[in-house]
Amino acid sequence: MRLYDFLPSGNGYKVRLILHQTETPFTWVNVDILDGATRAPAFLAKNPNGRIPLLELDDGRLLAESNAILYYLAQGTPLLPRDPYLAAQIMQWMFFEQYSHERFVAVARFICEFSAPGDPRHEELSGLRENGHAALRVMETHLSENRFFVGDTYSIADIALYAYTHVADEGGFDLSPYDNIRKWLSRVSRQDRHIPITKNDF
Ligand SMILES: N[C@@H](CCC(=O)N[C@@H](CS)C(=O)NCC(=O)O)C(=O)O
C-alpha cells in the first residue's frame, strides 16, 4: 500500500497510526500541501478532491477521506466491533469528528501553524475556538462515564478523535479544564504500537 500524506496533518496521522498499530506494511509518500502538491494534475487524477490522506492499494484502487480509510483498515481487527450497534456508534463519533470537531479544532491549528501573524485568517480564530470548545465539552461529558468512545475498548473512533485533540493546544485550545479528555489522551497514547504525529520513518 502507498499512503499519500503530509506529516503535520492529523487526518494523515490517523492513517499512519492505524497502519502502524495493525502492522500493515506501507510506503509513505510525502505530499507538500503548502507547496500546491495536492493541486498538481497527477495528484488530482488520483483524488479529484485534491486532499490527503489518500491510500493506494496494491492493486491500484484508491481510497480518500481519513475516516473511510480507518474503517477499511480496521476490518477484522479489534479496532472495529462486529456488533452492528457498536459499529454504528463508531460511525456516529467519526461523523461527529468531521462535522463538529475537525473543522474547528484542526482549522484553528492550521491557521496558527501555517499563516503569518498578520494574515486575515487570524480573524476566524475566535469563532473556531468557540465551536471547537463546544465539541470538546461533548467529548468531556462522554468521557466522564466512558474510558473510550465506544464499547469500553480502544477503537477507530478514538483514533479519529485523538488525531486533532492531542495537538489542540497548537490551535490555542487550553485542555487543562478537560480532566477526562486529558486522561483519555494518556490512555490512547499508552496503547500498543502507538506512534507520535511526528514519526515519518516508515
Ligand atoms: N475530510 C478529509 C479532509 C482532508 C483534508 O482536509 N486534508 C488536508 C490536509 S489535513 C489537505 O489535503 N489540504 C490540502 C488542500 O486542501 O489543498 C479527511 O478526513 O481526509
- Model pLDDT for residues 101-160, shown as the tens digit of each residue: 999 999 999 999 999 989 999 999 999 999 999 999 999 999 999 999 999 999 999 999
Residue span(s) of the chain under CATH 1.20.1050.10 come to 84-189
Tell me phi and psi for residue 108, to 5 degrees: -60, -45
State whether CATH 2.40.30.40 applies to domain 84-189.
no
What's the gap in Å between 3 CA and the centre of ligand 1? 14
The residues of the chain that CATH labels 3.40.30.10 are: 2-73
Ligand 1 centroid – CA 99 distance (Å): 13
How far is C-alpha 114 from the chain's CA centre? 18
Q: Give me ligand 1 centre to Cα 83, in Å.
A: 30
Strand (E) or helix (H) holding 62: strand 62-64
Which helix (DSSP H) or strand (DSSP E) does residue 30 occupy? Answer: strand 27-30
Average pLDDT over residues 18-23: 98
What count of other Cβ atoms lies within 10 Å of the Cβ of residue 105?
29
**Hey, which residues does 4 pair with through a beta bridge?**
29, 54
Q: Which amino acid is at 170?
A: E
Average pLDDT of the chain to the nearest whole number = 97
Ligand 1: atom nearest CA of 51 is: 12
Q: Can you tell me the mean pLDDT for 56-79?
A: 98
Query: What is residue 77's predicted lDDT score, i.e. its pLDDT?
Result: 98
Residue-level pLDDT at 202: 86
Asked if residue 200 has pLDDT above 90, the reply is no
Q: In sequence order, what are the residues at sequence separation of 6 or more whose Cβ sits closer than 8 angstroms to the Cβ of residue 122?
A: 111, 115
Decide which of 3.30.2320.20, 3.10.129.10, 3.40.30.10, 3.60.150.10 is the CATH code for 2-73. Answer: 3.40.30.10
Question: pLDDT tens-digit profile of 145-185?
Answer: 999 999 999 999 999 999 999 999 999 999 999 999 999 99
- State which ligand 1 atom lies nearest to the alpha carbon of 36: 17
Cis peptide before 25 (omega within 30 of 0): no
Q: What is the pLDDT of residue 183?
A: 98
pTM of full prediction above 0.75 = yes
* Partners of residue 150 on adjacent β-strands: 153
